[in-house]
């Protein structure tokens, strides 16, 4: 059975949206991706770091989800990475109030022996030098996907390009890929990056859906229309976790990647309907199948 490794942050988020507030809830790129991936695939392997303040009930939650925690390092003398922020009416923009790196500043992503045969890897939004370090430990990997953000594009562009060129697929949003390439046209921007090992780019466009681009092919998926959004935090990571779990289950080919794009869209649509990963933790495969049925009907063209 192929194995999926999810590397990135595990955090405590404190946030406010127009729908309410939640202090100190589970967050982080690797955590959202792991919860999403565990809907379809178990076990999944988690590589991250937390502090001594990380609650045992949250460890138990992850274990119950089928998340292997042998790669989750605990620095007992430190505190878990924390983010505090808010959203206003424009739920596409997160406003950061405070970021506390805490133990994340000491994160050394050394894989335990049990993780060295992972075939599929998702590298969440962390320092690109650390992303490259993870990939270097998995030379026989089949498929690696990488996410990033504007901060790394601005501050560590060369390190980021090195990491991108060692991956097979890049997750990026429309503003980020324009910033990275200097190209306004999204299709041209994506294909500018298809050098080295990189074969695919997925451009996330929030409420406007997502694009999957290869050297010669394009697939587009609209977003799932929703009458209420509670909290968009982690939607991109949930999208990535759902996407990767689908690919692990079915293999890497264009048709699978197109189908995974739609599956990931449905997973992310559940994520935004609750704070943190609360809603994702409730749903079943049957819930996903039902929403996928609705999605296919409303996007069908006769």
Inform me whether the pLDDT recorded for 1 exceeds 80. Answer: no
pLDDT tens string 184-209 = 999 999 999 998 899 999 999 988 89
| Domains along the sequence of the chain with CATH | 4-299 (3.40.1190.20)
For the chain, percent of residues with pLDDT exceeding 70? 100
Neighbours of 208 (CB within 10 A): 13
Query: What is the structure's pLDDT at 237?
Result: 97
Positions of E strands within 101-223: 120-123, 143-147, 169-173, 200-204, 210-213, 218-221
For the chain, percent of residues with pLDDT exceeding 90? 94
Neighbours of 255 (CB within 10 A): 10
Q: What is the mean pLDDT of residues 28-38?
A: 97
pTM listed for this prediction? 0.96
Inform me whether the pLDDT recorded for 302 exceeds 80. Answer: no
pLDDT tens string 17-29 = 999 999 999 999 9
Query: What is the structure's pLDDT at 113?
Result: 96
Instruction: Compute the distance between CA of residue 182 and CA of residue 54 in angstroms, rounded to an integer.
Output: 40
Tally DSSP H helices, then E strands, for the chain.
10, 14
Residues found in the chain: 302
Which pLDDT band holds residue 178 (cuts at 50, 70, 90)? very high
């Amino acid at each position: 059975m192929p194995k999926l490794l999810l590397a990135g942050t595990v955090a405590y988020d404190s946030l406010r949206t127009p729908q309410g507030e939640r202090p100190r809830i589970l967050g982080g790129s690797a955590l959202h991706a792991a919860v999403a991936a565990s809907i379809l695939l178990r076990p999944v392997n988690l590589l991250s770091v937390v502090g001594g303040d990380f609650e045992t009930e949250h460890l138990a939650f992850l274990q119950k989800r089928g998340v292997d925690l042998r790669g989750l390092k605990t620095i007992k003398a430190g505190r878990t990475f924390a983010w505090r922020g808010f959203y206003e009416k424009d739920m596409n923009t997160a406003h950061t109030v405070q970021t506390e790196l805490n133990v994340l500043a000491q994160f050394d992503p050394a894989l335990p022996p049990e993780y060295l045969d992972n075939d599929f890897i998702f590298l969440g939004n962390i320092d690109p030098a650390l992303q490259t370090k993870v990939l270097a430990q998995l030379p026989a990997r089949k498929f690696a996907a990488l996410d990033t953000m504007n901060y790394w594009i601005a501050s560590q562009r060369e390190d980021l390009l090195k990491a991108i060129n060692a991956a097979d697929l890049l997750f990026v949003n429309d503003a980020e890929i324009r910033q990275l390439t200097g190209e306004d046209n999204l299709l041209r921007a994506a294909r500018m990056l298809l050098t080295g090992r990189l074969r695919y780019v997925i451009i996330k466009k929030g409420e406007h859906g997502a694009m999957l681009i290869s050297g010669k092919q394009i697939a587009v998926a609209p977003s799932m229309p929703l009458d209420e959004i509670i909290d968009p935090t982690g939607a991109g990571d949930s999208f990535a976790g759902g996407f990767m779990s689908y690919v692990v289950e079915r293999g890497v080919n264009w048709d699978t990647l197109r189908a995974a794009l739609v599956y990931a869209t449905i997973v992310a649509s559940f994520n935004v309907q609750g704070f943190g990963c609360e809603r994702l933790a409730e749903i079943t495969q049957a819930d996903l199948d039902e929403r996928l049925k609705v999605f296919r009907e409303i996007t069908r063209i006769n």
